[in-house]
Amino acid sequence: MIQPKKLSNGMRYHLVPFDGTQAVTVLVLTKVGSRQEPDSVWGGSHFIEHLMFKGTERRPNTIDISKTLDRYGAQYNAYTGKDLTGYYVKIDGERTGLAIDLLHDMLFHSHFDPVELDRERGVIIEEIKMYEENPIMHVEDLLEQAMFQGSTLGREIAGTPEMMRSMKREDLIRYRDAHYVPSEMVVVLAGKIPENAKELLEQTFGTVERDGAPVEPVPFVGTEERNVPRVKRQNKPLEQIQIALGFPTVGRAHKDSPAIEILANILGGAMSSRLFIEVRERRGLCYTVRADADAYDDVGAFVVRAGLDEARLDEAMKTILDELTKIKTEGVTDEELQYAKDNIDGSLKLQLENSSKQAEFIGRQELFLSRVKTPEEWMEDTQRVTKEDVLRVAEEILNFKKMSVSAIGPYETDESLLAHFPVIE
């Protein structure tokens, strides 16, 4: 287990040095996303992320910020999820102090200039349109709308064009000040870390005295069984439709998380997975098909997603649901189990060659979990999973009466889409 260090104001940080790189990644995570947003700032977490790049007192505009980093060939960006926001700079290790100083300046001294704020409204509205018009991306948003209907988990991260036009600056600043506080933030340095890293962090992030009042999200109440799946669709005249099936699972800290990851890997985690072989290789019904498992604090989502030939959707859906039924009734073989463990182990090792992935691996655990595991401990948990564990979680998760469906294709009604599915009994 890896213990966090703390700055004088209580902000947690991790230093993750490793050899073989000249780069360092400085990652700052804060535990706030669209899930925490009241109606008045729906989309506000994402809006704030954009505005952090628009100027501070010391760096008055976007160009001043970007030129500071571009000069040294740095990679930098930010992202917003439903329960976190992240900012990172990957740069020559000799410039670590610059990256730390800039991120601190952006996160705690951005001035949210009203002119820039209004200009950025239009940028985000175009971003919303871009996602809505990209079927591969948008089908996942639709699925979570169906799965988490009635919860803030089911809302679009970026909000709506109407919210972007009406959101008030003072509400955004109040929301930011409540959540961008030391107790809700984690800083991770990974890669070539200078000896004075702690001092650099104390001089910047350690000086933050903001005392906010973070809003805890309402827990997800669960999914009731029903004979007809929950459906969210977008009617578009496509020949290759995008479709996703979702099943609710457990939260990220649950003991069954490793078994669920293995279940997803065996079903659709690689080109040799069950779904890929049966749906694509043997029947030629799709270009892509995969299974993934992701989770929030209190609930997760097991997702099967595919890009399918609309003309053969009946056969494709029967084939996919047959494979899900088979794995929850017959389980998996010893060979499949070990194959999945080896795949997960190898993938993790490859990812962690990158300083950015190292920072994410540690930072997300620190932000959300009660303990931070080393990669070795993480894989030990995976290696302990048995065939019986996989069968049990498959039986519990792959409940067709709790299934949600999203699709983008030529379907004017929910009924016209569900007509391609076998009857749920």
Per-domain boundaries in the chain: 5-207, 230-418
pLDDT (tens digit, 9 = 90+) per residue, 255-313?
999 999 999 999 999 999 999 999 999 999 998 999 999 999 999 999 999 999 889 99
Burial (Cβ within 10 Å: 0-12, 13-18, ≥19) of residue 38: exposed
Burial (Cβ within 10 Å: 0-12, 13-18, ≥19) of residue 335: exposed
CB-CB contact of 368 with 252 (8 Å): yes
pLDDT (tens digit, 9 = 90+) per residue, 270-279?
999 999 999 9
Mean pLDDT confidence for 248-256: 96
Structure tokens at 424: 């749920």
Tell me phi and psi for residue 45, to 5 degrees.
-60, -45
- Sheet of 404-409: strands edge to edge? 230-235, 404-409, 240-249, 300-309, 286-295
Residue type, 123: V
Q: How confident is the model at residue 215 (pLDDT cuts 50, 70, 90)?
A: confident
Residue reference for tokens 């794995």: 327
**Whole-angstrom Cα distance, residue 28 to residue 182?**
11
Q: Taking all residues of the chain, what is their mean pLDDT, rounded to a whole number?
A: 95
Topology annotation, domain 5-207: Cytochrome Bc1 Complex; Chain A, domain 1 (3.30.830)
Residue type, 37: E
- Residue 191's region, left for phi above 0, alpha for psi from -120 to 50, else beta, is left
Looking at domain 230-418, its CATH superfamily turns out to be Metalloenzyme, LuxS/M16 peptidase-like (3.30.830.10)
Mean pLDDT confidence for 353-378: 95
**Whole-angstrom Cα distance, residue 127 to residue 287?**
26
Beta partners for 137?
none
Beta partners for 305?
244, 290
Residue reference for tokens 């009924």: 415
Three-class secondary structure of residue 254 per DSSP: coil
For residue 403, the model assigns a pLDDT of 97
Mean pLDDT confidence for 102-114: 97
For residue 154, the model assigns a pLDDT of 95
Torsion angle defined by CA atoms of residues 119, 122, 123 and 125, in that order, rounded to the nearest 10 degrees? 150
Residue reference for tokens 């992701």: 294
CB-CB contact of 74 with 52 (8 Å): no
For residue 425, the model assigns a pLDDT of 60
For residue 36, the model assigns a pLDDT of 95
Q: How confident is the model at residue 370 (pLDDT cuts 50, 70, 90)?
A: confident
pTM: 0.95
**Whole-angstrom Cα distance, residue 304 to residue 390?**
17
pLDDT (tens digit, 9 = 90+) per residue, 75-97?
999 999 999 999 999 999 999 99
**Whole-angstrom Cα distance, residue 36 to residue 215?**
6
How many CA atoms does the CB half-sphere of 398 hold within 13 Å?
A: 24
Structure tokens at 70: 């571009």
Mean pLDDT confidence for 328-351: 97
Domains 5-207 and 230-418 belong to one CATH topology: yes
Continuous segment of H or E residues that includes residue 90: strand 85-92
DSSP 147-170: HTTTSGGGS-TT--HHHHHH--HH
Burial (Cβ within 10 Å: 0-12, 13-18, ≥19) of residue 405: buried
Residues labelled catalytic: 49
- Three-state SS string over 11-68 comes to CEEEEEECCCCCEEEEEEEECCCHHHCCHHHCCHHHHHHHHCCCCECCCCCHHHHHHH
